[in-house]
Amino acid sequence: MHFSNTISKIFNTKYPIVQAPMFGVSTPEMTVSAAKTGCLGSLALADLSAEKSIELIQKTKKLTNQHFAANIFVHQIPEITDELKQQYFKTKKFIEELAFKNNIETNLTDLEDIKVNSYHEQIDAVIAENCKILSFTFGNLDQQSIQKLKENETVLIGTCTSVQEALELEKSGIDVICVQGIEAGGHRGSFASENIPRIGGFSLLSQVYDLVKAPLIYAGGIYNGKTLKAAQELGAQGFQVGSILLASKESALQDFEKERLKKVNENEIVLTKSFSGRYARGIRNKFIETIENSEYILPYPYQNKLTGELRRIARTTKNAEFVNLWVGQSIMNYSEDFTQEILEKLIQDYE
């Protein structure tokens, strides 16, 4: 078996392997290390401001002359209603009390002080910085943005977690579709935030392959040559990997988080909305157990913004019970090598 060169030609890379964006974990250094391997590095911009997005893009450009993908969130921003204001106040109070009971001193952000950014300003930043590959998740771009990016000759990579989402992406002219299986770590790329599709990756990949013509990247559970080959057999031409890079030297995770990773067992990996208001897969802890089935979960991005300060303080005190540690279902030996070395080993194992 050998790699298809379809994705490699589109991305102008040696290998059709994509380093997952992983906002909060990946760094410009990880993006560059992936590019050194001949893979496509991804720069996670999430829902940052245009100014911060430009800063990270420019930092990455200074470190490499290789192509990399900018990655953004294209979520809908909920309207601030009286009901949301009341829910925010109650949730803020509950989480602050929970933190206090667990010896964490924190004053969480008031709703009126939260700055929520639209992805449209990020698109302008991506174009201004001449980034030629843009991946996105949590939905689809609006048609005007797609047209603007196409005029800039930007390759577009959309994320799907169902056949219907894949068909919508293809119909709107998205160039490459990333098929995300339910086993993948981190946030679900689902268009909806409630009643999300929970389809196994290989089942979903096979169905999407039969119904769309766009090249497919597969994400979810790839950690060695065999899992990569299995995805290839089912129609994937590209392969996105994230969890295998969590403990890498370029990862933003702290040592205590990497140690927690190495002790995880399969029963501790769960889907949760508790930290961000959108479903994400990670390691269960006290915060998740307390919040998950409660009334104290705001819609994204307000839950995410609210818990941000709590997570920041918990990291400074190395408290794994109050940080989000996203990871997929494939448990492995989380290597602390450089990203480049981890990806090279994956390619060697495949070959």
Residue 197 near residue 190 (C-beta atoms within 8 A): yes
Look at the chain and report how many structural domains it folds into.
2
Do 142 and 8 have their domain in common? yes
Please indicate, yes or no, if residue 259 is contained in any of the structural domains: no
User: Is 260 part of any domain?
Assistant: no
CA torsion through residues 296, 300, 304, 305, sign:
negative
DSSP state of 93: H
Residue 258 within any structural domain of the chain: no
Buried b (16+ CB within 10 A) or exposed e, 234-265: bbbbbbbbbbbbbbbbbbebeeebbebbeebe
Average pLDDT, the chain: 97
Q: Is a pLDDT exceeding 90 seen at residue 135?
A: yes
State whether 49 and 193 are in the same domain: yes
Do 57 and 100 share a structural domain?
A: no
In sign, the C-alpha dihedral spanning 164, 5, 231, 209 is: positive
The per-residue DSSP string of 227-296 comes to HHHHHHHTT-SEEEE-GGGTTSTT----HHHHHHHHT--GGGEEEE-TTTSS-EEEE--HHHHHHTTSS-
Do residues 135 and 168 both lie within one domain?
yes
pTM of the predicted model over 0.95: yes
Residue type, 156: L
Intra-chain end-to-end CA distance of the chain, in Å: 8
Backbone phi, psi, residue 240, to 5°? -105, 130
Torsional class of 95: left (φ above 0), alpha (ψ -120 to 50), beta (otherwise): alpha
Half-sphere exposure of 150 (CA within 13 A, CB side): 11
Q: What are phi and psi of 316, to 5 degrees?
A: -70, -25
Per-residue burial over 136-166, b = 16 or more CB atoms within 10 Å of its CB, e = otherwise: bbbbbbeeebbebbeeeebbbbbbbbbbebb
Q: Does 257 map to a domain?
A: no
| Domain-located, residue 147 | yes
Q: What is the pLDDT of residue 349?
A: 97
Q: What's residue 167's pLDDT?
A: 98
9-57 pLDDT, tens digit per residue, is: 999 999 999 999 999 999 999 999 999 999 999 999 999 999 999 999 9
Question: What domain range is 70 assigned to?
Answer: 1-77+116-251+335-351
Which pLDDT tens digit goes with each residue over 55-66?
999 999 999 999
- Say whether pLDDT at 1 is over 70: no
146-198: per-residue pLDDT in tens?
A: 999 999 999 999 999 999 999 999 999 999 999 999 999 999 999 999 999 99
Query: In terms of domains, do 174 and 273 share one?
Result: no
Q: Going by DSSP bridges, is the β-strand pair 269-272/280-283 parallel, antiparallel, or unpaired?
A: antiparallel
- What is the CATH classification number for the domain harbouring 155? 3.20.20.70
pLDDT for res 340: 98
Kindly state whether residues 164 and 71 are assigned to the same domain.
Answer: yes
Q: Are residues 6 and 94 in the same domain?
A: no
Residue 2: the pLDDT is 83
Whether 281 and 206 share a structural domain: no
Strand partners, 41: 68
